[in-house]
A = this chain, B = another copy of it.
Amino acid sequence: MPVSAAPKARVGKPRFERQLPEQRRGALIAATIECLKRYGHEGLSIRTISAQAGVSVGLINHHFPNKDELVAAAYRQFNAELVAGLQTAVERAERTPRARLRAFLEASFSEPNLDQDVLAVWVVFWGMYRHSRLIQRVHSENYHGYVQLLHGMLADLLKPERRHEGSVDVRLAAIGLTALLDGLWLEWCLEPATFRPEEGVRLCEDWIEHLCRRTDR
C-alpha cells in the first residue's frame, strides 16, 4: 500500500523543475556535445539528447526551432570552449612571444583537446559543413578567429621591422603552422601510437625556429 505518490499529491517532489530559457538552452547544448563525444554522429538524435539532458523529447523544439539550430549552437559553444582554453593557457605564460606560443602549442597537445572523442565531435561538424548553411556560417566565424589568434602571436614573434620585407610571409606562415598543428593533432587522435604529444610540440617548435632563422638571415 503506497504511503506517498498519490496521483494528485500537492506534497512531495514536483515532477519537473522549470528553468529559465537561457539555462535550459545551455543544458541542452551541453547534452548535445556530450552525446556527440559518446556516440558520434549516431548520438545526434532528439531522443538521445533529451535523454542525456534528463528531459522529454518535446522540450527541445520548445527552445530551438529545429535540430539544426541546436547543433549549430553546440558547434559554436564547442569551439568557444576550445579557444577560451587556449587563450587562458597563453595568458598564464610569460609575456614573451616565444613563451606564449609555446604555451599555446602545449595546450593544443594536452587535455582536453588531445582526445579521440573530441576529434569525433569535430569530424561530425565538418561532415555537415557542405550541406548546412548554418554550419558554414559558424565555421567561418570560428576559423577566422583561430587563424587570427595564431597570426597575431607569430607576428609578435617574428621581427616586427622585417615581417613585411619579403623573405617571410606571416600570412603563409600562420597558415602553415595551423596546418601542421591541426594535422598532427588529427594524426594523433586517429592513431595515438604513432608519436608522443611532446614530439608533436617539438615538431611545431622546429617549424617556428626555422621561420625565425629565415628572418634573421
- CB-defined interface of A170-205 with B at 8 Å, one 1/0 digit per residue? 001001101111111011001100110001001100
If over half of A's interface residues share one DSSP class (helix, strand or loop), that class is named, otherwise mixed; here it is helix
Kindly state the separation between the CA atoms of A187 and B182 in the bound complex, as whole angstroms.
9
Flag if B120 contacts A123 (CB, 8 Å). Answer: no
Q: Which residues of B contact A176 (CB under 8 A)?
A: 180, 184, 203, 206-207
Interface bits A37-70 vs B (CB < 8 Å: 1, else 0): 0011110000000000000000000000000000
Contact (Cβ within 8 A) B183 A199: no
- Tell me if A116 counts as interface (CB < 8 A to partner B): yes
Q: How many copies does the complex hold?
A: 2
Tell me the minimal C-beta distance from A149 to chain B in angstroms. 15
Determine the distance from Cα of A143 to Cα of B183 in the docked complex, in whole angstroms: 14
Contact of A40 (CB < 8 Å), options: B42, B119, B130: B130
A-side interface residues toward B, CB under 8 Å?
39-42, 116-117, 119-120, 123-124, 126-131, 139-140, 143, 147, 172, 175-176, 178-184, 186-187, 190-191, 194-195, 199, 202-203, 206-207, 210
